Structure 1
Amino acid sequence: MIRIVKLTFDPAQTTAFEQLFAERQADIRHFPGCTHLELWKDKTHIGVYFTYSHWENTEALDVYRHSEIFADTWTAIKGWFTGKPEAWSLENRTP
């Protein structure tokens, strides 16, 4: 399963977000069920980022979403948002 999450931050907080992500990305990548993780930055909209991750299944993602690392990270960044986060869970249908 592929998970894409759009995060829109106050531009003044982008450096702090990138630093926090850099500190925690290895822990997220090694979380049981996570097989891939990337951070993308929008080229034209300042403060807009996307996380792109692969999960073994929905259950693995749900366990992560209820984990301490997720809760700690979300608590740290939720005050930096200027837009509501959006998320999509996708299946690759490429033959």
Structure 2
Amino acid sequence: MFVRIVKMSLHTKHIAEFREMFDEKKHFIRNSEGCKLLELYQDKQNPEIFFTYSYWEKESNLENYRNSELFKNVWAKTKTFFNDKPYAWSVDKKISLN
């Protein structure tokens, strides 16, 4: 399993619309093949900064999602909210705190 972390910085005026869109689409994303977890975080110091964390069984599952119409539509809309370049990392989960 690996983790995908995406950092996004949004214009303040788009935050409410972004959160509404995320709430509408999160169930579809979570039901993508191989997706085990999807969470959204908002920075405590800068409310314009958000992070998504998603856990995937295999990299091919993430790639299949990234090539889906769902992703293309969500990402196209999300990009219009940015006030800075997004950053993404794919990392291997090494330790579980459970």
- Which of the five TM-score ranges fits, normalised by the shorter chain? over 0.9
How many correspondences in the alignment?
95
Query: After TM superposition, what 4+ stretches of structure 1 lie above 6 angstroms from structure 2?
Result: none
Shift of 1:93: 1.6
SS of structure 2 residue aligned to 1:45? coil
State the alpha-carbon separation in 1 of the partners of residues 95 and 20 from structure 2: 34
Consecutive unaligned residues in structure 1, runs of 5 or more: none
| Superposed counterparts of 1:36-51, under 5 Å | 36-51=37-52
State the alpha-carbon separation in 2 of the partners of residues 59 and 10 from structure 1: 32
Structure 1 partner of 2:58: 57
Q: Normalising to structure 2: TM-score of the pair?
A: 0.93
Say what the alpha-carbon RMSD is for the aligned residues.
1.0
1:23-55 superposed Cα distances (whole Å, 9 cap, x missing partner): 000000001110100000001112110000000
Shift of 1:76: 1.1
| Superposed counterparts of 1:1-95, under 5 Å | 1-94=2-95
Q: Normalising to structure 1: TM-score of the pair?
A: 0.96
Consecutive unaligned residues in structure 2, runs of 5 or more: none
Letter in 1 for 2:81: W
Letter in 1 for 2:15: T
SS of structure 1 residue aligned to 2:90? strand
Shift of 1:77: 1.5
